[in-house]
Amino acid sequence: MSFGVEIPFVTLLGFDLTVFEGGRSEIVYAPRPEHMNSFQVAHGGSIMTLLDVTMATAARSVSPELGVVTIEMKTSFMRPGTGRLTGQGRLMHRTRSLAFTEATVYNEAGEACAHSTGTFKYVKRSETPGQAPGAVSTD
């Protein structure tokens, strides 16, 4: 499944969107050596990016014609992010202009590594040349 627009940082990290529907999202991420911290686990910044994009995608799944921008997010880290990571997001509530979301990142054993809540503002997106009709965007 494609994100629909080029998001260079997401491309660099290698995120793979697997669920995008009904206020839910799932993104799979296999951190590479250059994404690790000095403890050789996924850097917190890459995990926060996974949470941010997962929540944004959940928000957009109910209005794919709109873009979203992050207003705020809070993150709690529970254990090191090791191995293949999966972000699962959920749209908790929506107003005309705002989305209230949450996401959790799980390791390969299914254990929660980090959790976030976030607020996103819906914005109109003009058609981008080369963007596939109905493509998924998360920025």
pLDDT tens figures, 47-70: 999 999 999 999 999 998 899 999
Reported as a single tens digit per residue, the pLDDT across 124-137 is 976 444 455 555 55
Which percentage of the chain shows pLDDT scores above 70?
Answer: 87
Token representation of residue 53: 């994009």
Find out if CATH 3.10.129.10 is the number for domain 8-124. yes
Domain boundaries, the chain: 8-124
Contact 105, 113 (CB under 8 A): yes
Contact 68, 87 (CB under 8 A): no
Predicted structure pTM score: 0.89
In this predicted structure, the answer to whether residue 87 has a pLDDT above a threshold of 50 is: yes
